[in-house]
Amino acid sequence: MFGVPSNFWGVVSAGLSAFGVALVFSRVLSSLTHLLRILDHPNSRSLHLKSVPRTGGLAVLAGMLVGVLVYWMAGRDFSSRAGLFLGMGLAPLAIISLLDDYRDIAAQWRILVHLWAAVSLLAAGLVPDSLHLPGLAFPLPGWATIPCALLFTVWMINLYNFMDGMDGFAGGMAVIGFATLAWLGRADAGFAAICLIVAAASAGFLVRNFPPARIFLGDSGSTALGFLAAGCSLWGSKTGLFPLWIALLVFSPFIVDATVTLLRRLLRGEKVWEAHRSHYYQRLVLLGWGHRRTVLVEYALMLACAGSALWAVHLPPAGQAALALGWAFIYGLLLWGVGRLEQRRATVPAP
């Protein structure tokens, strides 16, 4: 007869609580007449055609908070240094992002809070001391570790915000991504519990966000999830649960799209801080794929990346390198394919 881990029922209770609270809050907040109503009105840069509440981040945050409390009440300890500093970085980030959802906050104030969130991870000691590549590891000089960790965290916060532009997209990435990190880091009960609570809260929100969405994450949700993705990636890497490149592979559907799009816009001399519709997922929607078809294809990509990450940790160094090269080829082919579809559409005569 198989035993269960000592924290199994605590994790199950916390996950179910996080899911249920996020689901209920999402349903309440999706009402257009709710007191906390903040509407995302469509404009020339949007993919949606009608006004939708963008307070879903509150539902996710509420679900995570209740999940953590339930886990703690079940007698499980969340007092790890990394977990405490994650909370210290997350709280001001969620507040400034919620204020930005209500009324635009100057970019310099938002960036300062993003940096504060990144510094909280440094204070927790989540600074990589080596660069892990597939099958290889290089020690990093002390002067390079802190800037790399800061840049990675701030970029993850913002890229998650950039990628939250399609129904069901950011929520789906959170469910698949954090559930994968939980399994990869299951040797650390506290780490796995936090990741599962984030995944469960995101799943509760996703019920109301799946196309056609009745509620959006808003900045309060997207920046929080981006920060937690960075924090849990650095946490798992620093404690030896998995190499950092494995976490990057898990979240690569967001990282590749956002990074390549940013570089393309920089090369074209565009104002990268302005809203746009040139992300690859946005281009697929505009090609006529629609939200549902596009997000389902993206889910398949996310699951493939997650499965590859779970497989990679059991591969020898040569196998890991081959897997990484294979994914580089796949992404190159996918990005080329979107451009090719646009070219074919442009050459089709109008009816």
With respect to residue 30, please indicate whether it lies within any of the assigned structural domains: no
DSSP, collapsed to helix, strand or coil, labels residue 168 as: coil
With respect to residue 143, please indicate whether it lies within any of the assigned structural domains: yes
Which is nearest to 160 in space by CA: 291, 253, 55, 25?
253
In order, the DSSP letters of 192-211 are HHHHHHHHHHHHHHHHHHSS
Cα dihedral: 351, 286, 29, 60 (round 10): 150
Which is nearest to 218 in space by CA: 209, 228, 231?
209
What is the residue-level pLDDT of the chain in tens, covering all 351 positions? 344 455 777 888 999 999 999 999 999 998 756 566 776 666 555 565 577 888 899 999 999 999 999 998 876 665 567 777 888 899 999 999 999 888 888 889 999 999 999 999 999 889 887 777 787 777 777 778 899 899 999 999 999 999 998 999 999 999 999 999 999 999 998 899 999 999 999 999 999 999 999 999 999 999 999 999 999 999 999 999 999 999 999 999 999 999 999 999 999 888 877 778 889 999 999 999 999 999 999 999 999 999 999 999 999 999 999 999 999 999 999 999 999 999 988 765 544
With respect to residue 290, please indicate whether it lies within any of the assigned structural domains: yes
Q: Which of 79-118 are b and which e, b meaning 16 or more Cβ less than 10 Å from the residue's Cβ?
A: ebebbebbebbbeebbebbbbbbeeebeeeebeebbeebb
With respect to residue 264, please indicate whether it lies within any of the assigned structural domains: yes
Which is nearest to 190 in space by CA: 124, 132, 100?
124
The parent domain of residue 325 ranges over 78-186+217-343
| Contact in structure between 76 and 189 (CB atoms under 8 Å) | yes
DSSP, collapsed to helix, strand or coil, labels residue 347 as: helix
With respect to residue 191, please indicate whether it lies within any of the assigned structural domains: no
With respect to residue 162, please indicate whether it lies within any of the assigned structural domains: yes
Give 344: exposed, middle or buried? Use CB within 10 Å, 0-12, 13-18, 19+. exposed
Can you give the pTM of this predicted structure?
A: 0.92
DSSP, collapsed to helix, strand or coil, labels residue 130 as: strand
Residue 282's alpha-carbon distances to 149, 151, 248, 257, 297, in angstroms, are: 29, 25, 22, 10, 13
Taking the C-alpha atoms of residue 117 and residue 59, their distance in angstroms, rounded to an integer, is 21
- List, in sequence order, every residue forming a beta bridge with 40; answer none if it has no partner: 52
Instruction: Write the single-letter amino acid at 112.
Output: L
With respect to residue 47, please indicate whether it lies within any of the assigned structural domains: no
Q: Are strands 130-133 and 136-139 parallel, antiparallel or unpaired?
A: antiparallel
Which is nearest to 239 in space by CA: 139, 144, 137, 126?
126
With respect to residue 17, please indicate whether it lies within any of the assigned structural domains: no
Number of domains in the chain: 1
Taking the C-alpha atoms of residue 254 and residue 249, their distance in angstroms, rounded to an integer, is 10
Give 193's contacts (C-beta < 8 A, 6+ positions apart): 7, 10, 11, 14, 71, 76, 78, 182
- Other beta carbons within 10 Å of 340: 11
